[in-house]
Chains A and B, each alone.
Chain A
Amino acid sequence: KQEVTQIPAALSVPEGENLVLNCSFTDSAIYNLQWFRQDPGKGLTSLLLIQSSQREQTSGRLNASLDKSSGRSTLYIAASQPGDSATYLCAPAGGGNKLTFGTGTQLKVEL
Protein backbone atom coordinates (compact mmCIF):
# COMPACT_ATOMS: atom_id res chain seq x y z
CA LYS A 1 0.00 0.00 0.00
CA GLN A 2 1.39 3.37 -1.06
CA GLU A 3 1.96 5.88 1.74
CA VAL A 4 2.94 9.48 1.15
CA THR A 5 4.57 11.84 3.62
CA GLN A 6 5.08 15.55 3.11
CA ILE A 7 7.48 17.63 5.14
CA PRO A 8 7.12 20.23 6.50
CA ALA A 9 3.42 20.20 7.33
CA ALA A 10 3.40 23.99 7.43
CA LEU A 11 5.81 26.68 6.32
CA SER A 12 5.83 30.45 6.62
CA VAL A 13 8.37 32.47 4.64
CA PRO A 14 8.93 36.12 3.69
CA GLU A 15 8.22 37.18 0.15
CA GLY A 16 11.08 36.60 -2.27
CA GLU A 17 12.51 33.57 -0.52
CA ASN A 18 13.32 30.38 -2.40
CA LEU A 19 11.87 27.27 -0.78
CA VAL A 20 11.76 23.51 -1.05
CA LEU A 21 8.86 21.22 -0.26
CA ASN A 22 9.56 17.55 0.31
CA CYS A 23 7.55 14.47 -0.53
CA SER A 24 8.40 10.85 0.19
CA PHE A 25 6.55 7.71 -0.84
CA THR A 26 6.92 4.07 0.11
CA ASP A 27 6.22 2.22 -3.15
CA SER A 28 8.62 3.11 -5.96
CA ALA A 29 6.54 1.31 -8.61
CA ILE A 30 4.91 4.48 -9.86
CA TYR A 31 4.05 5.72 -13.35
CA ASN A 32 4.31 9.41 -12.61
CA LEU A 33 4.06 11.94 -9.82
CA GLN A 34 1.97 15.09 -9.80
CA TRP A 35 2.24 18.19 -7.69
CA PHE A 36 -0.93 20.15 -6.99
CA ARG A 37 -1.86 23.30 -5.16
CA GLN A 38 -5.12 23.71 -3.29
CA ASP A 39 -6.58 26.97 -2.10
CA PRO A 40 -8.85 26.78 0.97
CA GLY A 41 -12.13 25.03 0.20
CA LYS A 42 -11.27 24.70 -3.49
CA GLY A 43 -10.35 21.96 -5.90
CA LEU A 44 -6.84 20.95 -6.91
CA THR A 45 -4.81 22.76 -9.53
CA SER A 46 -2.20 20.68 -11.31
CA LEU A 47 1.24 22.29 -11.19
CA LEU A 48 3.63 19.73 -12.61
CA LEU A 49 3.67 16.12 -13.70
CA ILE A 50 6.90 14.13 -13.77
CA GLN A 51 6.95 10.86 -15.64
CA SER A 52 8.65 7.95 -13.89
CA SER A 53 11.46 8.08 -16.46
CA GLN A 54 12.16 11.76 -15.84
CA ARG A 55 14.31 13.38 -13.16
CA GLU A 56 13.05 16.95 -13.35
CA GLN A 57 10.25 19.08 -14.67
CA THR A 58 10.07 22.87 -14.75
CA SER A 59 7.24 25.35 -15.15
CA GLY A 60 7.99 29.01 -14.59
CA ARG A 61 9.23 29.51 -11.03
CA LEU A 62 8.51 25.89 -10.15
CA ASN A 63 10.88 22.98 -10.47
CA ALA A 64 10.06 19.45 -9.40
CA SER A 65 12.50 16.59 -9.10
CA LEU A 66 11.90 12.88 -8.78
CA ASP A 67 14.13 10.13 -7.41
CA LYS A 68 11.95 7.10 -7.89
CA SER A 69 14.38 4.58 -6.47
CA SER A 70 14.61 6.38 -3.15
CA GLY A 71 10.94 7.34 -3.11
CA ARG A 72 11.45 11.09 -3.01
CA SER A 73 10.29 14.18 -4.83
CA THR A 74 10.90 17.84 -4.16
CA LEU A 75 9.12 20.95 -5.33
CA TYR A 76 11.30 24.04 -5.54
CA ILE A 77 9.60 27.43 -5.64
CA ALA A 78 11.79 30.35 -6.64
CA ALA A 79 11.22 33.94 -5.54
CA SER A 80 8.06 33.17 -3.59
CA GLN A 81 5.10 35.57 -3.75
CA PRO A 82 2.04 36.06 -1.50
CA GLY A 83 -0.07 34.53 -4.29
CA ASP A 84 1.84 31.27 -3.78
CA SER A 85 0.15 30.84 -0.38
CA ALA A 86 -1.78 27.59 -0.54
CA THR A 87 -1.54 23.92 0.40
CA TYR A 88 0.77 21.92 -1.84
CA LEU A 89 0.05 18.24 -2.39
CA CYS A 90 2.16 15.58 -4.04
CA ALA A 91 0.59 12.46 -5.49
CA PRO A 92 2.42 9.51 -6.99
CA ALA A 93 0.37 7.56 -9.52
CA GLY A 94 0.11 3.80 -9.37
CA GLY A 95 -1.49 1.44 -11.86
CA GLY A 96 -4.35 2.97 -13.80
CA ASN A 97 -3.21 6.46 -12.84
CA LYS A 98 -4.60 6.08 -9.32
CA LEU A 99 -3.25 8.92 -7.21
CA THR A 100 -2.22 8.59 -3.56
CA PHE A 101 -1.97 11.85 -1.65
CA GLY A 102 -0.11 13.05 1.38
CA THR A 103 -1.65 15.54 3.77
CA GLY A 104 0.18 18.40 2.11
CA THR A 105 2.38 21.33 3.05
CA GLN A 106 0.52 24.49 4.00
CA LEU A 107 2.55 27.43 2.70
CA LYS A 108 2.16 31.05 3.74
CA VAL A 109 4.22 33.73 2.01
CA GLU A 110 4.21 36.97 3.94
CA LEU A 111 4.77 40.49 2.67
Chain B
Amino acid sequence: DAGVTQSPTHLIKTRGQQVTLRCSPKSGHDTVSWYQQALGQGPQFIFQYYEEEERQRGNFPDRFSGHQFPNYSSELNVNALLLGDSALYLCASSLGGYGGGTDTQYFGPGTRLTVL
Protein backbone atom coordinates (compact mmCIF):
# COMPACT_ATOMS: atom_id res chain seq x y z
CA ASP B 1 0.00 0.00 0.00
CA ALA B 2 1.59 3.25 -1.16
CA GLY B 3 1.69 5.97 1.40
CA VAL B 4 1.43 9.68 0.70
CA THR B 5 3.60 10.71 -2.23
CA GLN B 6 4.75 14.19 -3.22
CA SER B 7 6.50 15.62 -6.25
CA PRO B 8 8.92 17.05 -6.98
CA THR B 9 11.36 16.32 -4.16
CA HIS B 10 13.28 19.55 -4.57
CA LEU B 11 12.61 22.72 -6.49
CA ILE B 12 14.56 25.92 -7.04
CA LYS B 13 12.77 29.06 -8.24
CA THR B 14 13.48 32.78 -8.41
CA ARG B 15 11.48 35.57 -6.84
CA GLY B 16 8.30 36.41 -8.70
CA GLN B 17 7.94 33.02 -10.32
CA GLN B 18 5.08 30.60 -9.81
CA VAL B 19 5.31 27.00 -8.59
CA THR B 20 3.04 23.95 -8.47
CA LEU B 21 3.53 21.12 -6.00
CA ARG B 22 1.71 17.80 -6.19
CA CYS B 23 0.43 15.28 -3.68
CA SER B 24 -1.18 11.85 -3.95
CA PRO B 25 -2.94 10.74 -0.77
CA LYS B 26 -2.71 7.37 0.92
CA SER B 27 -4.99 4.80 -0.67
CA GLY B 28 -8.55 5.16 0.60
CA HIS B 29 -8.08 8.68 1.96
CA ASP B 30 -10.27 11.51 0.73
CA THR B 31 -8.90 14.56 2.55
CA VAL B 32 -5.67 16.40 1.81
CA SER B 33 -4.07 19.08 3.96
CA TRP B 34 -1.03 21.19 3.11
CA TYR B 35 1.53 22.51 5.60
CA GLN B 36 4.53 24.80 5.29
CA GLN B 37 7.57 24.13 7.46
CA ALA B 38 10.26 26.79 7.66
CA LEU B 39 13.69 25.78 8.85
CA GLY B 40 13.74 25.12 12.59
CA GLN B 41 9.98 25.58 12.95
CA GLY B 42 7.00 23.29 13.25
CA PRO B 43 4.70 22.88 10.25
CA GLN B 44 2.02 25.52 9.73
CA PHE B 45 -1.38 24.71 8.26
CA ILE B 46 -2.02 26.23 4.82
CA PHE B 47 -5.36 24.72 3.79
CA GLN B 48 -7.38 21.53 3.54
CA TYR B 49 -9.27 20.01 0.63
CA TYR B 50 -12.21 17.64 0.78
CA GLU B 51 -14.58 16.72 -2.04
CA GLU B 52 -12.62 19.00 -4.37
CA GLU B 53 -13.32 22.06 -2.23
CA GLU B 54 -11.17 24.11 0.10
CA ARG B 55 -12.75 23.47 3.50
CA GLN B 56 -10.35 25.23 5.84
CA ARG B 57 -7.61 27.78 5.40
CA GLY B 58 -4.80 28.93 7.64
CA ASN B 59 -3.27 32.37 7.81
CA PHE B 60 -1.71 32.40 4.34
CA PRO B 61 -2.17 35.01 1.60
CA ASP B 62 -4.16 34.44 -1.59
CA ARG B 63 -0.89 33.79 -3.43
CA PHE B 64 -1.30 30.29 -2.04
CA SER B 65 -4.01 28.35 -3.80
CA GLY B 66 -4.83 24.74 -4.37
CA HIS B 67 -6.92 22.19 -6.10
CA GLN B 68 -8.18 18.68 -5.45
CA PHE B 69 -8.96 16.31 -8.28
CA PRO B 70 -11.69 13.63 -8.45
CA ASN B 71 -9.08 10.95 -7.60
CA TYR B 72 -8.35 12.94 -4.37
CA SER B 73 -4.86 13.99 -5.45
CA SER B 74 -4.07 17.64 -4.86
CA GLU B 75 -1.94 20.52 -6.05
CA LEU B 76 -0.56 23.51 -4.18
CA ASN B 77 0.16 26.61 -6.25
CA VAL B 78 2.16 29.57 -5.07
CA ASN B 79 2.28 32.74 -7.19
CA ALA B 80 4.68 35.67 -7.06
CA LEU B 81 7.22 33.78 -4.99
CA LEU B 82 9.03 35.56 -2.18
CA LEU B 83 12.28 34.64 -0.49
CA GLY B 84 10.24 33.85 2.62
CA ASP B 85 8.36 31.11 0.79
CA SER B 86 11.47 28.94 0.96
CA ALA B 87 10.43 25.98 3.09
CA LEU B 88 9.56 22.31 3.20
CA TYR B 89 6.00 21.85 1.95
CA LEU B 90 4.24 18.86 3.44
CA CYS B 91 1.09 17.15 2.35
CA ALA B 92 -1.01 15.09 4.75
CA SER B 93 -3.88 12.79 3.97
CA SER B 94 -6.69 11.50 6.14
CA LEU B 95 -10.22 10.17 6.00
CA GLY B 96 -13.41 11.88 6.90
CA GLY B 97 -13.33 15.40 5.65
CA TYR B 98 -14.40 18.36 7.71
CA GLY B 99 -16.57 16.39 10.06
CA GLY B 100 -13.94 13.79 10.73
CA GLY B 101 -11.78 14.74 13.65
CA THR B 102 -10.59 11.40 14.82
CA ASP B 103 -8.47 10.00 12.06
CA THR B 104 -4.69 9.74 11.91
CA GLN B 105 -3.05 12.05 9.41
CA TYR B 106 -0.27 10.60 7.31
CA PHE B 107 2.39 12.86 5.88
CA GLY B 108 4.36 12.65 2.68
CA PRO B 109 8.13 13.19 2.42
CA GLY B 110 7.69 16.83 1.45
CA THR B 111 8.89 19.12 -1.31
CA ARG B 112 11.85 21.35 -0.50
CA LEU B 113 11.30 24.72 -2.21
CA THR B 114 14.16 27.18 -2.44
CA VAL B 115 13.45 30.70 -3.69
CA LEU B 116 16.48 32.69 -4.84
| Residue positions of A touching B, CB distance < 8 A | 4, 31-32, 34, 36, 41-46, 49, 51, 89, 91, 93, 95-104
| Residue positions of B touching A, CB distance < 8 A | 4, 6, 31, 33, 35, 40-45, 48, 55-56, 58, 88, 90, 92, 94, 96-110, 112
Of B4, B6, B42, B103, chain A has the most CB atoms within 10 Å of the CB of B42
Q: If the complex has contacts A96-B55, A97-B103, are A42 and B43 also in contact, measured as CB distance less than 8 A?
A: no
CA distance A41 to B111 in the complex (A): 10
Q: Which residues of B contact A98 (CB under 8 A)?
A: 33, 45, 48, 56, 58
22 CB-based A-B contacts, threshold 8 Å: A34-B105, A41-B88, A43-B107, A43-B108, A43-B109, A44-B92, A45-B107, A46-B104, A46-B106, A49-B104, A93-B105, A96-B55, A96-B56, A96-B97, A96-B100, A97-B103, A98-B33, A98-B56, A99-B43, A102-B42, A103-B42, A104-B42
Q: Which residues of B contact A41 (CB under 8 A)?
A: 88, 112
Instruction: Rank and list the top 7 A-B pairs by shortest CB-CB distance, nearest first.
Output: A31-B101, A101-B42, A44-B107, A43-B109, A96-B98, A43-B107, A43-B110
> Is A36 within 8 A of B107, CB to CB?
yes
CA distance A40 to B33 in the complex (A): 21
**Least CB distance, A10 to chain B, in whole angstroms:** 11
Q: Which residues of B contact A102 (CB under 8 A)?
A: 42
CA distance A91 to B44 in the complex (A): 11
